[in-house]
Amino acid sequence: MHTFEHLRHVRFPLIQGAGTIPAVGFGTLIPNPVAAKQAIKVALEVGFRHLDCAELYRNEDVVGAAMHEAFEAGTVSREELFVTTKLWNNNHRPERVKLAFEASMRRLQLDYLDCYLIHTPFAFQPGDEQYPMNEQGEPIYDSGVTLVETWRAMERLVDEGRCKSIGLSDITLPKLKEIVAIARIKPAVVEVECHPFLPEWELLEFCQQHGIVLLAFAPLGHGMEPRITDDPVIKAIAQRADMTPAQVALAWAVQRGVAFLTTSTNPAHIQENFDISSLPENAMRDMQHRITTSVRLNAVVETGVPGFVPRRA
Ligand SMILES: NC(=O)c1ccc[n+]([C@@H]2O[C@H](COP(=O)([O-])OP(=O)(O)OC[C@H]3O[C@@H](n4cnc5c(N)ncnc54)[C@H](OP(=O)(O)O)[C@@H]3O)[C@@H](O)[C@H]2O)c1
């Protein structure tokens, strides 16, 4: 029998007194609204206390409805829940940041946010179009705004007390360093693709030196090929530790100090992803040194355009 208490309730401190973030989080990128609402409600019932949202996902209203039903049912209170959402690329101009934030808050039916992230460092042409494209089908970038200017607008949201912490997503280490160097309010969270096939050790070291929480999306590799759950090293550890391969990958994340976001519409997977217990030291070493697959699954960090196929369910 495992004592699951150990990892599922871990929280990491956020810098500048912004509280703590649960290590174990649930992502809301589920295009089907009925499936999304159901999965979010199951995740909250199981015990997930971090929901990761985005204006890009076009379902903040669904997340808001699911959260409020859970509040009313007494499953969880607003104060117990950590909610993140993200500013999309067409809203980087400083005068658009607050409007985009307020629109997200209305859809989520919240009066404060725990964490607001710049979804990618790529500014697209300002306007209502989420993917402004030229005739060649390439994104139209906006050279009229810098990431620093957008960051200053994010800082003002914290000043105004609407948002407890701010951060960045889909960012490379050199760009992160630029923001850390100029920030009055430092990034509290950096959300990037991170899993056993893309461990991001250098980025993690920088984040830990600066008190930034690295938040992994795709901790199970988006469920895509090559499958993390089929890796022979991970499968062998799972067998030795009496866990599933998914639990090994998730426990490894938390034990190295990384918070994660999984997503599932399968209640058994949702439960499994919450019920994680710690790995022995030799398993942590095997994860670091014996896994040979190395792959980035999502090209968003290079272009600002999500580079994977979202689930159909
Ligand atoms: N910042 C960004 O640019 C960015 C980009 C992408 C995603 N995200 C965020 O990250 C969240 C996580 O999504 P993800 O796709 O990256 O998550 P993921 O957990 O790596 O992958 C989800 C896939 O794994 C499967 N799965 C989940 N639990 C499993 C288990 N225990 N065993 C076997 N398979 C399992 C799911 O299928 P089933 O439904 O069948 O379980 C699904 O196909 C998103 O919802 C979103 O909030 C952020």
DSSP 310: P
Reduce the DSSP state of residue 166 to 3 states and report it: strand
Determine how β-strand 11-13 pairs with β-strand 50-52. unpaired
In angstroms, rounded to a whole number, what is the distance separating the alpha carbons of residues 152 and 24? Answer: 29
pLDDT in tens, 118-161: 999 999 999 999 999 999 988 999 999 999 999 999 999 999 99
Cα 310 to ligand 1 centroid, rounded to whole Å: 9
Cα 217 to ligand 1 centroid, rounded to whole Å: 7
Question: What pairs with residue 77 in β-bridges?
Answer: none
pLDDT in tens, 259-299: 999 999 999 999 999 999 999 999 999 999 999 999 999 98
Closest CA to ligand 1's atom 44: 27
pLDDT in tens, 40-70: 999 999 999 999 999 999 999 999 999 999 9
Mean predicted confidence (pLDDT) in 238-264: 98
In angstroms, rounded to a whole number, what is the distance separating the alpha carbons of residues 126 and 157? Answer: 20
CATH of the structural domain 11-303, one choice from 3.30.70.20, 3.30.365.10, 3.20.20.100, 3.40.50.2020: 3.20.20.100
In angstroms, rounded to a whole number, what is the distance separating the alpha carbons of residues 87 and 119? Answer: 5
Q: What percentage of the chain has pLDDT greater than the value 70?
A: 96
What was the pLDDT predicted at 6? Answer: 78
Ligand 1 pocket, residue 243 CB under 6 Å: no
Q: No. of H helices and E strands in the chain?
A: 12, 10
Cα 182 to ligand 1 centroid, rounded to whole Å: 33
In angstroms, rounded to a whole number, what is the distance separating the alpha carbons of residues 237 and 249? Answer: 10
H or E element, residue 303: helix 300-303
Question: ∠209-162-56 over CA atoms, to 5°?
Answer: 80
Query: Hey, which residues are catalytic here?
Result: 57
Q: Which pair of tokens denotes residue 260? A: 């994660």
Of the residues 24, 108, 217, 297, which should be mutated to test ligand 1's pocket, given the most ligand atoms within 8 Å of the CB?
Answer: 217
Question: What pairs with residue 116 in β-bridges?
Answer: 85, 166
Question: ∠71-55-216 over CA atoms, to 5°?
Answer: 80
What was the pLDDT predicted at 174? Answer: 97
Q: Give the other-Cβ count within 10 Å of 285's Cβ.
A: 11
H or E element, residue 239: helix 232-241
Q: 77 in the Ramachandran plot: left (φ > 0), alpha (ψ -120 to 50) or beta? A: beta
In angstroms, rounded to a whole number, what is the distance separating the alpha carbons of residues 86 and 91? Answer: 10
Of the residues 88, 262, 266, 309, which should be mutated to test ligand 1's pocket, given the most ligand atoms within 8 Å of the CB?
Answer: 262
State which ligand 1 atom lies nearest to the alpha carbon of 311. Answer: 43
Closest CA to ligand 1's atom 23: 223
Cα 270 to ligand 1 centroid, rounded to whole Å: 10
Read off φ and ψ for residue 296, nearest 5 degrees: -100, 130
Confidence of residue 16 (pLDDT cuts 50, 70, 90): confident
Of the residues 220, 243, 312, which should be mutated to test ligand 1's pocket, given the most ligand atoms within 8 Å of the CB?
Answer: 220
Ligand 1 pocket, residue 87 CB under 6 Å: no
pLDDT in tens, 162-214: 999 999 999 999 999 999 999 999 999 999 999 999 999 999 999 999 999 99
Q: Give the other-Cβ count within 10 Å of 281's Cβ.
A: 9
State which ligand 1 atom lies nearest to the alpha carbon of 217. Answer: 10
Ligand 1 pocket, residue 90 CB under 6 Å: no
Name 66's Cβ contacts closer than 8 Å, sequence gap at least 6.
Answer: 36, 37, 40, 41, 44
Cα 273 to ligand 1 centroid, rounded to whole Å: 11
Closest CA to ligand 1's atom 16: 218
Cα 51 to ligand 1 centroid, rounded to whole Å: 13
Question: ∠4-270-58 over CA atoms, to 5°?
Answer: 135
Closest CA to ligand 1's atom 36: 264
